[in-house]
Structure 1
Amino acid sequence: MSNQLFNLLDEPWIRVMDKDGAVEEKSIYDVLLHAQDYLRLAGETETQNLPVFRILEAILLAIYAKYDANGNFDPIEESEDASKRWGELWEHKHFEEKPLREYLETYRDRFWLRDDQYPFMQSIKAKDGTDYKTSKLIGELSESNNKVRLFQSRLGEGKEKLSCAEAARWLLFVNAFDDTSAKAKQKGLPSPGAGWLGQIGPIYAKGDNLYESLLLNLVFLNDDEVWNEIKPTWEMAPRYGERTKIVPPNNPATLYTTASRRLLLKWNGDKVVGYTSLGGDFFDKTDYFVEMNTAYRLDKKSKSASIYLPKKIDPSKQSWRDFKNLFVESSEDDHRIPGVIHWIRELQSDGRLSNDQKVTFETSSVQYGNKCFFINDLTGDSLTISTALLKDENEVWRIMVEKAVSLCEKMANEAGSCKYNIALAKGVSGDDILKKERAQGKIAFYDRVDIPMRIWMNQLDPNTQDQKEELENIKVEFKKGADDLINEWVGNSSVGALQGRMVKGRHYSLPESINWFMWHIHELLKGGEKNGK
């Protein structure tokens, strides 16, 4: 009797949002054949959407590296072919059924969620791994076996038994973002680290619908070279070894489907009631640029040649504050922009995207506790800009935006210093407390200018606007943000802060602190240094 259950090609399991805002579960076939009719993926969390999205991307890469938009066999062999293929798909507005079914039916047996041989993104050898409840599988809970979260999004049977559909989604999440708490069964094996997506700073391009989003992230070139091979792991024999160091995947489809964990779902009838886990595949990520959806930073700790590593996301920073690392090529070679942004820039320069095309870039990541031993939080942000800003000839505009962000950072530092000085004037003491006051001042300034910065970046248009005028416009918003803070701090002042006090031979008071802040802001806005030189 067959133990096969729930084939992901046909069964509804991917949550999508339609154009009316309704959320439904759809099969892989339904999602891809009607991607133009859906706004986006709509899983329980954005971090759950990412690995599901990458499965779809792996399928599309495997197909359209070989077939044109109409489903005719026509492999991409030259870099010029890649841009043309992408442009044809963009104009086609939907994916043809013929190439999808011809490809996916070849590997139908690799898409069963439950199977005695090849369960989807699982390993039958994982049955000897660490035993977990479904509360650990559910990413929005991520409970260990020994510690229950105090505040929970679900209770009782809702976290003890999962439908096939939800279990499939969280299965991909665990493979992508799992922590390092599981112990090795075989002694002496190295740690594979957190799941791959937990080791990078994921950033994705989002279009007006799911079809556009899938295409914007469908990168056919690696640094202007055609990928040597596009091969998802379901085209390959499965690996079973625990904590296996592998040769780094040489194409996105393999990377997106690499098993960083050996997982096996546990069943009670047609419900998932837990899973077992072993460490899976891992590889050296030094100077590894196959990952298209992360920025890279120069490893300043390395004493050898220049080494680049994926740049993780700082959850305390708004995405626009990272504009330089994401959108501006480094003249000092201290970073590399994400491959997907480089790809979109090439498409824009090739005329594949219109000058008024807006794209939202979304970040989504998991924040871990000590040594990635447990998951602390799920975070994300977004930034919408015109793709015209990414064109080669508009580099001066990107540098202008970078200067605006840098100016904002300097003003935020001054706000932090002002808050620190006011705290001293109030009689606050203690290095940790004062450090917190400084940080709160910086955060307060960023909060004041956050929405104006997003609006400003969204409406920037190198084709119709004057660069100097736009820089002055955002400076006005910075000044408003500083003035708002001053009014707030003055309004909340105390008699003690007004009078001030001596601290280590220097007098601090609210009026003095505000005057220093105003002077520094004035100097920064007119282009001077804060010391007046």
Structure 2
Amino acid sequence: MSVDNRSFNLVTGPWIKVLDRNTNLEKTVSLLELFDNAQQYRQLTGDMRSQDLAVLRLLLAILTTVYSRFDASGDMYDWLVVKELATNRLGVNQELFDEDDIEDDLLETWQDLYQSGKFSEIVGAYLKEYQARFDFFGDRPFYQVTSQNYDALVPEGKRIATGKGQVAVKQLNRRISESGNKPAIFAPKSGRFKNEMALDELVRWVVTYQNFTGVTDKTKILTDEKFSNSGGWLYRISPVFVEGKSLFETLMLNLVLVDAGNDATNYAVQKPVWEYASIQEYIDERKKMEVPDNLAELYTTWTRLLHIEWDDNGDPTIFSSGVPMFEADNAFIEPMTTWRFDKKTNDYRPALKSLRSLGISMWRNFGQYVKVNQADDIHEPGIVVWLRLLKDKEKIAYGKPLLLNSVGLIGDGNATSQLPAFEFADDMRMQADVLFDPEIQENWPTRIEDVISTTQAIGTDYYHFVSDIGKIRNVEVRQFAGKMSAKFYDRLNEPFKAWLQDLTGHDDREAKIKLWKQELSRILMMAVDEVMQSSSSRDITGIPDKKGILNIFTARNHLMYNVRTHLDR
């Protein structure tokens, strides 16, 4: 088959990697196969966890679009009407239905699907209707544009014929992310193999690149107002989502059909990128730099206009041009992020991870995921608000285990590149009745936050202890104490997560908290004993201090006094 006649349709062609629950073997499936058998797959198993998140959001865009229009039986909701036959544009019949009716119908659809344990045939019907838009080599190639579209939207000096604005395959691959200026030494591929990639892998990386784009490329589309190329949207948020026991459950728990995270239930017609009538219409919308009003559009947001030229050997040359991006501040329609309040601007911004905060586990930022006190300047992630709604409406079981996951890429800290420097993945499992405990006096989230505060106070006490040891040993104190503190928290992570997972809404709070304090004391003493056992004569003799002699014994005594104070002993 010639290059011009190639076809690879994502609806029917295998490109998504999944893990089979029965065989524990990896397999590659199409969109149709995935939605038909999601209950049989354990999880996505792409090339990186970050890639899986990008693909997950694409899958959710499809499901959100379908089930915001059709119920589990495949019937269009009574309150939806076709406003324009030519464009099939939908709207709500507000004269006959109110927001409560819409919310009830959407939640009933969610519950029907969840109880059935599989997705209904309407998903496949939708994909077949838009199948032409999912062809990687089609007249409107998936997540790309044609050469005519590209040349029409970029400056004359940046058109394809000039050869400018190219992005190498090895730069698309976020495991390598190598530009033409500096080689990636510890990449999983070497030499010319860095630019070699199977077609299904290329599709996955194109989807990922739109979500985790760096800013090394300088070409931009033509606009009346100047703009700077932006990093990918997932680079600009602090991702959090729910992981279920199967891919079906993961998709369902993250399928936000009611805009709970935006403190409103207003229905929005979903419009993923492939439903735009033309590329020009999509770009015109993006030039407004407005946050999308629907999740499907948000989940399929492009940061780059991509065009792929294929040579006679079937090798790709990728051209990339920046697209105007909207701001992340107060973009509460995004359900998959934690937020922090900026007191200077009174804005909420995604609570981004950095290389400096890389070692801080999710549980230590518990208050970012669940609003513990109503007076706090905390905006809960939309996905947590959605889960609370499902629990309050009795759509999920009271004691349902919920696994919150955080996955993403951290940039190199260079504003002119934003190349991936590290991939992080963390989780935190709790039962629904713990995460959304209705108790007032003995509310579990409040008690958990108190326990975390106590735990971190002990961590600070230990940091001061090893800082004293560093002074005695005449080593670089901050580096030594930082290393020892990180090791201490590493020891805490799994036991604390296990303690969280074991909590229930029926527990004696004080008894459970006492158990953790005992475990915390045990881990602390193990860390202290290791330091004491490695002591030298200098540690015992000590050094002059403001209060006399500082040695390993006085440092330990000071530590234990602070620990007793913080543990209320």
Cα 1:160–1:376 shift into 2, 3 Å = same
1:320 partnered with 2:363: yes
CA distance in 2, matches of 1:468, 1:36: 39
Q: Counterpart of 1:14 in structure 2: which amino acid?
A: I
Contact 2:19 2:43 in 1 (8 A): yes
1:179 partnered with 2:214: yes
1:352 partnered with 2:395: yes
Matched residue, 1:530: none
1:452 partnered with 2:495: yes
Please, which runs of 5 or more residues in structure 1 have no aligned partner? Answer: 528-533
Cα 1:437–1:258 shift into 2, 3 Å = same
Contact 2:218 2:229 in 1 (8 A): no
1:507 to 540, 549, 557: 549
1:308 partnered with 2:348: yes
CA RMSD of the aligned region, Å?
Answer: 2.2
CA distance in 1, matches of 2:78, 2:61: 16
Contact 1:243 1:279 in 2 (8 A): no
Contact 1:417 1:441 in 2 (8 A): no
CA distance in 2, matches of 1:394, 1:131: 58
CA distance in 2, matches of 1:157, 1:260: 27
| Residues 327-406 of structure 1 aligned to structure 2 (within 5 Å) | 327-369=370-412, 370-371=414-415, 373-394=418-439, 396-406=443-453
CA distance in 2, matches of 1:266, 1:516: 68
Matched residue, 2:293: 250
What SS does the aligned partner of 1:298 have? strand
What SS does the aligned partner of 2:136 have? strand
Q: CA deviation at 1:285?
A: 2.0
What SS does the aligned partner of 2:386 have? helix
CA distance in 2, matches of 1:323, 1:275: 42
Contact 2:49 2:425 in 1 (8 A): yes
CA distance in 2, matches of 1:186, 1:81: 42
CA distance in 1, matches of 2:298, 2:73: 27
What SS does the aligned partner of 2:189 have? coil
CA distance in 2, matches of 1:417, 1:328: 30
Cα 1:75–1:286 shift into 2, 3 Å = farther
CA distance in 1, matches of 2:466, 2:257: 50
**Cα shift readout 1:142-176 (whole Å, capped 9, x = no counterpart):** 11111111112123554222222000000011100
2:248 to 184, 189, 211: 211
CA distance in 1, matches of 2:32, 2:238: 29
1:57 partnered with 2:60: yes
Q: Counterpart of 1:90 in structure 2: which amino acid?
A: Y
Contact 1:163 1:270 in 2 (8 A): no
Contact 2:8 2:135 in 1 (8 A): yes
CA distance in 2, matches of 1:186, 1:93: 45
CA distance in 2, matches of 1:13, 1:156: 25
Matched residue, 1:72: 75
1:24 partnered with 2:27: yes
CA distance in 2, matches of 1:41, 1:368: 24
What SS does the aligned partner of 1:336 have? coil
CA distance in 2, matches of 1:264, 1:41: 27
Q: CA deviation at 1:508?
A: 2.0
**Cα shift readout 1:190-215 (whole Å, capped 9, x = no counterpart):** 21421000000111101110000000
CA distance in 2, matches of 1:480, 1:75: 61
Matched residue, 2:198: 163
CA distance in 2, matches of 1:200, 1:407: 29
Q: Counterpart of 2:419 in structure 1: which amino acid?
A: F
Q: CA deviation at 1:357?
A: 1.6
1:411 to 458, 461, 469: 458
CA distance in 2, matches of 1:272, 1:28: 25
**Cα shift readout 1:197-251 (whole Å, capped 9, x = no counterpart):** 0000111101110000000000111224043221111111323579845221001
Contact 1:13 1:168 in 2 (8 A): yes
CA distance in 2, matches of 1:270, 1:325: 51
Matched residue, 1:421: 468
Q: CA deviation at 1:391?
A: 2.7
**Cα shift readout 1:462-504 (whole Å, capped 9, x = no counterpart):** 13x1111111111111101110111010011111111111256
Matched residue, 1:14: 16
CA distance in 2, matches of 1:141, 1:506: 55
Bigger Cα displacement from structure 2, 355-364 vs 269-278: 269-278
1:114 partnered with 2:149: no
Identical-pair percentage: 26
Contact 2:219 2:320 in 1 (8 A): no
CA distance in 1, matches of 2:230, 2:373: 29
CA distance in 2, matches of 1:394, 1:41: 37
CA distance in 1, matches of 2:193, 2:20: 25
| Residues 113-132 of structure 1 aligned to structure 2 (within 5 Å) | 113-115=136-138, 117-124=139-146, 125-126=149-150, 128=160, 130-132=165-167
What SS does the aligned partner of 1:110 have? helix
CA distance in 1, matches of 2:502, 2:204: 36
1:435 to 453, 475, 478: 478
Q: Counterpart of 1:502 in structure 2: which amino acid?
A: P
Q: Counterpart of 1:83 in structure 2: which amino acid?
A: L
TM-score by length of 1: 0.92
1:87 partnered with 2:96: no
Contact 2:337 2:382 in 1 (8 A): yes
CA distance in 2, matches of 1:269, 1:385: 54
1:477 partnered with 2:512: no
CA distance in 1, matches of 2:192, 2:483: 42
Please, which runs of 5 or more residues in structure 2 have no aligned partner? Answer: 80-100, 151-158
What SS does the aligned partner of 1:393 have? coil
Contact 2:243 2:249 in 1 (8 A): yes
Q: Counterpart of 1:72 in structure 2: which amino acid?
A: D
Matched residue, 2:98: none
Matched residue, 2:170: 135
Matched residue, 1:495: 537
CA distance in 1, matches of 2:59, 2:240: 16
Q: CA deviation at 1:82?
A: 2.6
1:220 partnered with 2:222: no
Contact 2:227 2:324 in 1 (8 A): no
What SS does the aligned partner of 1:113 have? coil
Cα 1:231–1:151 shift into 2, 3 Å = same
What SS does the aligned partner of 1:282 have? coil
| Residues 140-151 of structure 1 aligned to structure 2 (within 5 Å) | 140-151=175-186
CA distance in 2, matches of 1:33, 1:394: 41
Matched residue, 2:275: 235
Q: CA deviation at 1:75?
A: 5.8
CA distance in 2, matches of 1:417, 1:103: 60
1:196 to 207, 226, 233: 233
CA distance in 2, matches of 1:269, 1:12: 24
CA distance in 2, matches of 1:448, 1:190: 46
Q: Counterpart of 2:207 in structure 1: which amino acid?
A: L
Contact 1:384 1:457 in 2 (8 A): yes
Contact 1:345 1:391 in 2 (8 A): yes
Q: Counterpart of 1:521 in structure 2: which amino acid?
A: V
Q: Counterpart of 1:423 in structure 2: which amino acid?
A: G
What SS does the aligned partner of 1:457 have? helix
CA distance in 2, matches of 1:245, 1:315: 35
Contact 1:162 1:271 in 2 (8 A): no
**Cα shift readout 1:444-475 (whole Å, capped 9, x = no counterpart):** 22122211101101111113x11111111111
